Amino acid sequence: MSDLARHIDSLSRASVLCVGDVMLDRFVYGSVERVSPEAPIPVLRIERETAMLGGAGNVAANVMALGAGCRFVSVVGEDAAGLELVRLIAKETGDGGGLIAEPGRQTTVKTRFIGGRQQLLRADAETIAAIESEEEVMVAARTGMLTVGAVILSDYGKGVLTDGLVAQLIHAAREAGLPVVVDPKGDDFGRYRGASVVTPNRKELMLATGMPADTDAEVESACRYLIETCGIDAVVATRSERGMSVVTRDQATHLPAKAREVFDVSGAGDTVVATLTSALSVGVDLADAARLANLAAGIVVGKVGTAVVRAPELLSALHEQEWRSGEQKVAALAQAVEWAERWRARGKRVGFTNGCFDLLHPGHISLLNQAKAACDVLVVGLNSDASVKRLKGETRPVQAETARATVLASLACVDLVVVFGEDTPETLIRALRPDVLVKGADYTIATVVGADFVQSYGGKVVLAELVDGQSTTNTIKRMKL
């Protein structure tokens, strides 16, 4: 365990070159209230649109989320979607210069139309043809290899990784002493000859070998067949609920799945290859790198859509048993937003309340129980020490935020605690978009911070009954008598 924890810390020093098929994943959200009079189809009233990196771009996003550096090289079209990808890559990696615009090529865009919580349609626009800019890609890749510790080839079969380019990339990387990890596509793994590791899923493994891959022994045999016939050093086969198998010429290790709850497997392969390669880039051996990748896969399949895993999440999962009733329920804002989206996608109502909760008393417990009764999952916003000091004076808080967060997290009625440093939870509420907002009855709905915002999208504001005579200030006064 301690070795894996040290490896997680080392990911901040990792640096990876990723070459592959980049895509723009666009999501169009809205509501459906009627059927079109023109055809028996729903009418989507569009409310918002978002765009994120897809394909090999999601691999790069996963590398960056771990705290590692990523040089990214791919090919886009000379179109608006290509420009948007340049912007997104630059935002994610700090450098969008590795995207090569090819005339006459259409950037791959996958647009998903979502009504409420239901995906209604996916529309794809793309060019599936071999690129004509292999030389430019190689120049950019060779430059990237000068400053990284490992290389990822993320093959989605859209034409960037041609047979000739794959061979050149693997040769150049191995010549530079860099491990090459391939997330493969298709049934011919011979085109990846010379790769350090390939990471097929169970279906891809069976397609490439024509062999069964149900039991550990069958998977091991199929992986060894690839190693011997395709000139690959090792195979890391992902097997969904059966975990992961790490097979080399000399040995095989079968790792059980780490997911407590599988919600969405979208992009899990991207997370595996990103984590595995980031670890290899800083000298972690293949077995431990695979253990970290398996741990990351267990986290990401519990999230909604194509998601990323962060180093603190890996560390938290590593110590899950020790932290399960305490620190695991204390989250940063970005993680809390992901959890809230996940809960809502499962049809749960997300509730929110906030406060200083300094010296927890029966009044606090009553508020929290009433808040939980009004929703399915309750997120509590907790004022930081600095925030409490500004609001309550120099002698407060009595308990530090770590202690206050730990006490709150131990309560069965509290599902998540988020510490915030502002004087009000306005930013937190706008990020979480709770379905139910709860405050004490000493407020009116008009004076509750965030009430107007929550009500604007149909959320509910609840005023909880107060317990007479209960306050932290009064408790402190009695202690001084």
- Catalytic machinery residues: 270
CA 157 centroid distance within chain = 23
* DSSP 8-class letter at 76: E
Per the CB < 8 A criterion, the answer to whether 141 and 17 are in contact is: yes
Task: Take residue 55 and report the two structure tokens written for it.
Answer: 């394909």
Burial of 392 from C-beta contacts in 10 A (0-12 / 13-18 / 19+): middle
Alpha-helical runs (H) found in 232-361:
268-281, 286-300, 311-318, 320-323, 333-345
Burial of 456 from C-beta contacts in 10 A (0-12 / 13-18 / 19+): exposed
At residue 200's C-alpha, the angle toward residues 93 and 279, to 5°, is 45
- Which of 349, 476, 475, 356 lies closest to 421 in space, CA to CA? 356
Per the CB < 8 A criterion, the answer to whether 391 and 356 are in contact is: yes
Give the integer Cα–Cα distance in Å for 45 and 28: 10
- Which of 273, 269, 293 lies closest to 151 in space, CA to CA? 273
List, in sequence order, every residue forming a beta bridge with 246; answer none if it has no partner. Answer: 236, 253
